Amino acid sequence: MIFRKHHRVLVQGLTGKQGSFWAEKMMGQGTRIVAGVNPKRAGETHLGVPLFASAREAARAQPFDVAVMFIPPAAARDAALDAIDAGAGLLVVLTEHIPAHDVMAMHRAAARSGTRIVGPNTAGLVTPGEGFVGIMPGHNPNIFRPGRIGVISRSGSLGTLVCLNLTRAGLGQSAFLGIGGDPMIGTTTRDALQALDKDLGTDAVVMVGEIGGAMEEKAAEYAAGMEKPVVAFIAGRASPPGKKMGHAGAIVTGSAGGYPAKRAALEAAGITVVDTPSQLTETLAGRLSATQPRAMAAT
């Protein structure tokens, strides 16, 4: 789930405007893009990358570990199934507004094959100093720099703000995991938290959640047993019940998925929850300074 520089990447939709723009940025940061997909241009190259008619054909000539989709909603299901059938270990689904029955088909196929899906409606993955996959500004040193703070976010824009503040504070990031804002996503907050907890390069975690669903509550169950400090911000505190606020997953029905329940669950697990994103960096620094003396005493 954490992107690494040795990962080989297939870009579906490489020749489109967005695919081309972001592929250049990714390669500039060390991402190994080994193949692209465009059925109409198979046999050609684009940005120095060979093009194939399908992910399955690409896999036979240029084996890959990660596939990233710059694909419109109507074609997303077929593209995802193609990448899954081709053996992608990780599929990054940037597309939003994919029909629900298509998303369910994608998740069923991924579960059968062992492919991990990040998204739909994710901004992608960034590991500063190694590379990135998706539409996060992983090429901008003012936002991302190598560090030891893991960041999890449903929202790409809020995740960018948090990483900007961390970089300005001199902390930097070990990895950014954008899990996506749709109701049916493949990688949950708990999955991402567990990955960062096991990562030796991560000392602490910032979690950016949203109202709706129960992902933060389930993440809290795992966080209760963590030694690494976790600081969280939950967006949507003032949102009215029953209204969809931005992301399709950010909808509250009755008390389920509401801000008070999420905050209570996180704080009960020992996670510090702040009121505004601007408070995350200072709060995190305080949590880190409190844990370092204990770590030094244990060595």
Q: What is the pLDDT of residue 294?
A: 43
233-284, pLDDT tens digit by residue?
999 886 555 555 555 555 544 555 789 999 999 999 999 999 999 999 999 9
Residue 106 has pLDDT above 70, yes or no: yes
Name, in order, each residue with C-beta under 8 angstroms of 157's C-beta and a sequence gap of 6 or more.
Answer: none
Q: Which residue has the higher pLDDT, 253 or 118?
A: 118
Q: What is the pLDDT of residue 124?
A: 98
Residue range 140-298 forms a domain whose CATH class is: alpha beta
**Contact status, residue 224 vs residue 250, Cβ threshold 8 Å:** no
150-175, pLDDT tens digit by residue?
999 999 999 999 999 999 999 999 99
Q: Is the pTM of this model over 0.75?
A: yes
Catalytic site residue from 6, 7, 107, 247: 247
36-67, pLDDT tens digit by residue?
999 999 999 999 999 999 999 999 999 999 99
Which residue from 67, 53, 61, 57 is spatially nearest to 106, judged by alpha carbons? 67
196-213, pLDDT tens digit by residue?
999 999 999 999 999 988
Query: What average pLDDT does the segment 139-150 reach?
Result: 98
The percentage of residues in the chain with a pLDDT greater than 70, rounded to a whole number, is: 91
Fold of the CATH domain 8-118? Rossmann fold (3.40.50)
Q: What is the CA radius of gyration of the chain?
A: 19
Q: What is the pLDDT of residue 137?
A: 98
- Domain residues of the chain, as ranges? 8-118, 140-298
Q: Give burial (CB, 10 Å; 0-12/13-18/19+) of 40.
A: exposed
User: In CATH terms, are 8-118 and 140-298 the same topology?
Assistant: yes
Q: What is the pLDDT of residue 244?
A: 52
Catalytic annotation present for 247:
yes
